[in-house]
Chains A and B, each alone.
With several copies, the nearest count.
Chain A
Amino acid sequence: MEVTYLAAINQALHEEMRRDENVFVMGEDVAELGGAFKVTEGLLEAFGEDRVIDTPISEALIVGAGVGAAVLGMRPVVEMQFSDFISCAFDQIVNSAATLRYRHGGRAACPLVIRAPSGAGIHGALFHSQNPEAWFTRVPGLKVVAPATAYDAKGLLKAAIRDNNPVVYFEHKRLYRSVREDLPEGEFVVPIGVAELRQEGRDLSVITYGGTVHQVLDAARILDKEDKVSVEVLDLRTLLPLDREAILATARKTGKVLVVHEDRLTGGIGGEIAALIAEHAFDALDAPVRRLAALDTHTAFSPPLEEYILPNTNKIVEALRSLAAY
């Protein structure tokens, strides 16, 4: 049966809570309402008030309490209602959670998942469109994932819940209901840290993740058809740790790389990826590593502004053509 990205996340929560009674869910409006996006729907009925917990509007508390429960062996899955509000829990994530094992000399662990609905393109404006992933990919001790498909959404969430470290899990709001696929019947997980080659290609590589993966695939199809240019598409899936081997392999293979993300250009993880390639695949490059990302501004509300700011299939096609012509 076809399952949406959103339903896939919901399935993962159900399955993991059934599998391990230490898993519990906590956040604003996650219980009776089932979450602002209905991601946690049905959990209250299935697992009761002890394991599906509505909190006051207290992001620092939500993450901090998650840390406290996690060090005692629970596996909390906490929700930021929108990833934009993760800024209110910043200290608890980058300090309390990320340094926990380190400052305990390896004698403690923090198996915590922070779910954060992120991303733009839904008229969410400045505070309901953010892509905050690069604030966290520079923090050792954390893991960061950003699935683009229903399969990965489910498999990565299950892996994140089973992981013994704090994982920030970015789920893209625009994909919730726009992306769907058949999921295998049985149990599966998607390993953290492993990128996925969505499409093999010969001429160019695109490295991307999350909200822009489908736009890139669309663009690749257009290039294949209209330009007879064969584009390889690497979906990172995990943003920390990066799958360096996969990144360098595709760069070495095609010699021309475009990095695409919906996050802003400056300070987005595209810089890190371009730098990695420029340093470690220098000899293999036939063209400069290019980046296509949101413009260096906030995600404005008015449709013409939002459209101008965000990457889209057309802009990706253009960038690919320009790179192909280099």
Chain B
Amino acid sequence: MDDVNGAPTPAGPELNARLEFELNLYYQMKLIRAFEDRVSRLHRQNKILGGVYSGAGQEAIVTGICSALRPGDFVAPLHRDLGVFLMMGVDPGRLMAQLMGKENGLSRGKDSFLHGGDLEHGIFGSTSMLGSSLPIAVGAALKFQIKREKQVAVAFFGEGAASRGDVHEAMNFAGVRRLPVIFVCENNRFAYSTPLEKQMAIEDVAARAEAYGFKGHVVSGNDLLAVVQIAERVIGRTRDGGGPALIECKTYRYRGHSEHDPALYRDKEELLEWQSRDPIPRYEFYLEKRGHDVRHVREQIDERTRQVVQAAVDFAENDAFPEPQEALEDLYAPPAGPANLNGRS
């Protein structure tokens, strides 16, 4: 974030690094918002086909959680977590190409939206089957444990997915083996049209953690600073052998379940209430307290995200569609050593 000015009065190198880190998170959160807004627009323009699930309103969660991750960690995002891809360093152009089904998309046009993972950046491409990625994250954590690696696995899931049996099996085993896995619940109060009270008889998904022998934390998912703090603390503890944890982030979905959904089943008041808790202005307020010239920072960052998003769109639009016969490629990995496994067949 060397090109962002409007920084507060100079301080020691440690504080400086922290300030830079914090500003970068602001940039990331803004980039996610800008990218997703553009995705919604492209969907309306029929340039992105298939299901599009906006994470607007929930950006602080992926930003804050991923800020505590390191190279070699493993992340399984949920269907709304486009931000995870940006946070973990996936090239925005390739991400956009993925959404458009283009050749340089993460899945080379094979799958849609976020199902194309990018293991080079630690991102597992989850299937659509909600909750099914939790056992997989547990398996990644098992590898870290077997190999005595100081890495963690993170699985994001919605409060809706929390009702799936796979989630139970995953959490239970994680507890038994004290695996280095963090389960992050994005509780946005709705699973498609189904409100919280029809999904579970309790208030906090986090309460389940204790039934598996580890700790559940509740945090405001719209407060980036709070998410960052808990992520650093909890993920750090897990990384140091403290066993699994669950972090529940309370939040709200701004848009419909997907771009097809007008979400008529929701209370307008509730939406308004949650929009007033938008993570971006809230974090700007914090930056201001930190002494930044926020208006200036925002202008610079808006310009930068605009450019990044436009470049991504340009890249993706200019990218070719895959050749039809490629439909039959990438089904089976060739016989090769494990080192080559992530290479193409």
State yes or no: do A and B touch (Cβ within 8 Å).
yes
- Using CB atoms and an 8 Å cutoff, list the residues of chain A in contact with chain B: 22, 24, 28-29, 32-33, 36, 50-51, 53-61, 63-76, 82, 84-85, 87-88, 91-92, 95-96, 99-111, 123-128, 140-141, 143, 162-165, 295-298, 300-309
Cross-chain contact B335 with A68 (CB below 8 angstroms): no
Total B residues in contact with A, Cβ cutoff 8 Å: 85
CB neighbours (8 Å) of A82 from chain B are 128
Shortest CB distance B2–A (Å): 31
Tell me whether B101 is interfacial, beta carbon within 8 Å: yes
Residues 157-200 of B at the A interface (beta carbon under 8 Å): 160-161, 163-166, 169-170, 172-173, 176-177, 191-194, 198-200
Residue from A57, A76, A141, A308 within 8 A of B164 (CB atoms): A57
Rank and list the top 7 A-B pairs by shortest CB-CB distance, nearest first.
A68-B139, A64-B135, A302-B109, A65-B139, A127-B128, A56-B163, A302-B101
CB neighbours (8 Å) of B232 from chain A are none
- Known contacts A57-B161, A108-B342: A68-B129 contact under CB 8 Å: no
Closest to B160 in A: A57
Residue from A95, A105, A141, A298 within 8 A of B105 (CB atoms): A105
- Using CB atoms and an 8 Å cutoff, list the residues of chain B in contact with chain A: 49-51, 74, 101-102, 105-113, 115-120, 124-125, 127-143, 145-146, 153, 160-161, 163-166, 169-170, 172-173, 176-177, 191-194, 198-200, 265, 321-336, 338, 341-345
Closest to B139 in A: A68
CB neighbours (8 Å) of B169 from chain A are 56, 58, 60-61, 64
CB neighbours (8 Å) of B198 from chain A are 54-56
A32–B163 CA distance with the chains assembled, in angstroms: 19
A-B contact pairs, 6 of them (CB 8 A): A61-B173, A68-B142, A95-B132, A101-B331, A140-B331, A303-B101
Shortest CB distance A70–B (Å): 7
A32–B267 CA distance with the chains assembled, in angstroms: 13
Cross-chain contact B50 with A125 (CB below 8 angstroms): yes
CB neighbours (8 Å) of B117 from chain A are 103-104, 108
Shortest CB distance A97–B (Å): 9
CB neighbours (8 Å) of A57 from chain B are 130-131, 160-161, 163-164, 191, 199
Cross-chain contact B135 with A63 (CB below 8 angstroms): yes
Known: A57-B164, A103-B117, A107-B118. 19 other contacts (CB 8 A): A29-B194, A32-B265, A54-B194, A54-B198, A56-B199, A61-B163, A64-B134, A70-B139, A72-B140, A101-B332, A103-B111, A103-B127, A105-B110, A111-B341, A125-B115, A127-B111, A141-B332, A302-B101, A304-B323
